[in-house]
């Protein structure tokens, strides 16, 4: 059942407020309208497209938190971070990220997303990858969204181990264990 325009726009505004990372495609399905209708509604309501919403939320939320590298050097968009604990980023696979003959994402882009997230989660001025163990489980296709989830599994004075799992939907596509060197000898809680 289609809603009247004013009611649809009111609900649309609320949905985006509740989840700024919802896609136009998902909204179109929820409201049983075309993606173009959602785009027109967003334009009328002065709501930016998803990429701009993500960038705005990330800049406001994480600019002052991430210490180990500038926010614009992170591959993907960070959507959640708790330093020295966990972080989540999203990466949309576009034409420039895939092999042209088959539309499969090049592995170094998945690695770069995971590695930069492993660096970003470290609460230190300097964090470098000392070593990593990687597994690719399933090819990622053009147009898919990769959600990387980082979790700090152990840390000592100079090293932090970060596990990163990347998903497309509910499917695990990549896993990396990153042994990170940190420059500070003092950890939070040791002060």
Is the model's pLDDT at 189 over the cut of 60?
no
Is the model's pLDDT at 78 over the cut of 80?
yes
What does the mean pLDDT of the chain come to? 86
Predicted confidence at residue 140, as pLDDT, reads 98
Tens of pLDDT, residue by residue over 79-110, are 888 889 999 999 999 999 999 999 999 999 99
Is the model's pLDDT at 190 over the cut of 90?
no
Name the range with the highest mean pLDDT among 15-29, 53-67, 123-137, 164-178.
Answer: 164-178
Give the domain ranges of the chain: 5-47, 66-182
The arithmetic mean of pLDDT across residues 123-140, rounded, is 93
C-alpha 191/C-alpha 186 separation (Å) is 7
C-alpha 14/C-alpha 159 separation (Å) is 43
Tens of pLDDT, residue by residue over 136-186, are 999 999 999 999 999 999 988 789 999 999 999 999 999 999 999 988 754
C-alpha 98/C-alpha 109 separation (Å) is 9
Topology of domain 5-47, CATH: Arc Repressor Mutant, subunit A (1.10.10)
What is the Cα 76 distance to its own chain's centre?
A: 5
For domain 66-182, the question of CATH label 3.30.70.1110 is answered with: no
Tokens 């990769």 label which residue? 146
């Amino acid at each position: 059942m289609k809603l009247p325009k004013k009611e649809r726009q009111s609900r649309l505004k609320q949905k985006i407020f509740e989840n700024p990372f919802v896609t136009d495609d998902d909204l179109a399905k929820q409201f049983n309208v075309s993606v173009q209708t959602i785009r027109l509604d967003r334009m009328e309501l002065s709501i930016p497209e998803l990429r701009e919403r993500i960038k705005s939320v990330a800049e406001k939320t994480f600019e002052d938190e991430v210490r180990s590298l500038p926010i614009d050097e992170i591959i993907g968009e960070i959507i959640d971070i708790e330093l020295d604990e966990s972080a989540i980023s999203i990466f949309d696979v576009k034409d420039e990220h895939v092999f042209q003959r088959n539309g499969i994402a090049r592995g170094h882009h998945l690695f770069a997303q995971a590695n930069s997230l492993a660096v970003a989660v470290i609460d230190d001025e300097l964090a470098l990858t000392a070593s990593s163990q990687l597994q690719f489980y399933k090819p990622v296709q053009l147009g898919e969204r990769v959600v990387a989830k980082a979790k700090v599994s152990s840390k000592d004075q100079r090293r932090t181990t970060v596990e990163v799992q990347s998903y497309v939907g509910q499917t695990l596509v990549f896993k990396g264990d990153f042994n990170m060197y940190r420059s500070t000898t003092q950890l939070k809680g040791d002060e």
